[in-house]
Amino acid sequence: MARAMMTKILMSVVATMMLFQLALAVDHNVGRPDGGWDQSTNLGSWASGETFTVGDNLVFTYTSLHDVLEVTKDNYDSCTTSNPISTNGASPTTITLTDAGNRYFICGTAGHCDQGMKVNIQTVAAATPPPTSSSPPPPSDSPAPATPPVSTDTPPPNEDNAPPPFDENAPAPPVTSGGSPNNTGETTNPLPTPEPSSAATFKILNLVSMVGFGFLMML
Ligand SMILES: [Cu+2]
């Protein structure tokens, strides 16, 4: 039951975050709005004004005079159109930036790359999600409070009590004058109850905040 519910919550959190990612994905219309995928647009300048994040899309819109080749850096630099990584010839061409790093696109029409119809896309990683249960904090907390209970006054009961409890009040144990130590045994340990470790508390708080975050995300 509880496990199934946790699974359900986690799944909805993940799904929500994925939707969130999709909602944030940006379509970058290459060369727009001032130009396009053509020879007359300064595509380097256009690209430098954009921020490409993992999950974003490139959208190339062009006439039948052009196409879109994805190529290696070497072929990009030399405008070599043979052996492209991919060839796309049906405008519009949408390319999803699935990973951080550099990708290189050129036009395959003779001479167009040399005329500037090329663009280098530098994709950056998406922002990291908020740190939910990262490991670092707990260790710093736990060791410190471990010591306190040691040197505190030792509870007096056991041995001191033995002789005197010739109870003035209780008439009950009149058996022998020998004051059996067993009777007084009940008062023995007022041992301090073990404090809940702060590490455990921390974990619980973390869990609660995670679940709470999940619910927030679902709203
Ligand atoms: Cu072209």
Dihedral over Cα of 12, 211, 23, 90: its sign:
negative
- The verdict on 23 and 115 lying in the same domain is yes
Distances (CA, A) of 17 to 212, 215, 217: 15, 12, 8
Q: How far is the CA of 115 from the centre of ligand 1 (A)?
A: 9
Q: Which of 101, 124, 147 is the last residue of a domain?
A: 124
- The verdict on 71 and 144 lying in the same domain is no
Given the structure tokens 């219309």, which residue do they identify?
A: 29
Could you tell me if residue 116 is inside a domain? yes
Q: How far is the CA of 49 from the centre of ligand 1 (A)?
A: 22
Q: List CB contacts of 115: < 8 A, sequence separation 6 or more.
A: 39
pLDDT (0 to 100) of residue 65: 97
Could you tell me if residue 181 is inside a domain? no
pLDDT (0 to 100) of residue 7: 52
pLDDT (0 to 100) of residue 211: 41
Question: What is the domain count for the chain?
Answer: 2
- The verdict on 118 and 134 lying in the same domain is no
- The verdict on 90 and 134 lying in the same domain is no
Q: How far apart are CA 121 and CA 27, in angstroms?
A: 13
Residue of 51, 52, 61 lying closest to 93 (CA atoms): 61
Could you tell me if residue 156 is inside a domain? yes
- CATH for 79: 2.60.40.420
- The verdict on 117 and 157 lying in the same domain is no
Residues 83/104, Cβ–Cβ less than 8 Å? no
- The verdict on 89 and 29 lying in the same domain is yes
Q: How far apart are CA 192 and CA 36, in angstroms?
A: 76
Residues with CB under 5 A from ligand 1 (ion): 66, 107, 109, 112, 117
pLDDT (0 to 100) of residue 108: 98
- Helix (H) / strand (E) element for 182: namely helix 181-184
Using CB atoms within 10 A of its CB, is residue 107 exposed (0-12), middle (13-18) or buried (19+)?
buried
Q: How far is the CA of 117 from the centre of ligand 1 (A)?
A: 6
Q: How far apart are CA 212 and CA 171, in angstroms?
A: 59
- The verdict on 89 and 148 lying in the same domain is no
Q: How far is the CA of 8 from the centre of ligand 1 (A)?
A: 50
pLDDT (0 to 100) of residue 217: 43
Q: How far is the CA of 83 from the centre of ligand 1 (A)?
A: 17
Could you tell me if residue 182 is inside a domain? no
Range of the domain at 209: 130-163+197-219
Q: Which of 124, 154, 182 is the last residue of a domain?
A: 124
pLDDT (0 to 100) of residue 5: 67
Q: Which of 98, 124, 150 is the last residue of a domain?
A: 124
- The verdict on 63 and 94 lying in the same domain is yes
Q: How far is the CA of 123 from the centre of ligand 1 (A)?
A: 23
Residue of 211, 49, 30 lying closest to 107 (CA atoms): 30
Q: Which residues of the chain have pLDDT under 70?
A: 1-3, 5-23, 129-219
Q: pLDDT, tens digit, for every residue of 104-162?
A: 999 999 999 999 999 999 999 987 766 555 444 444 444 444 444 444 454 444 444 44
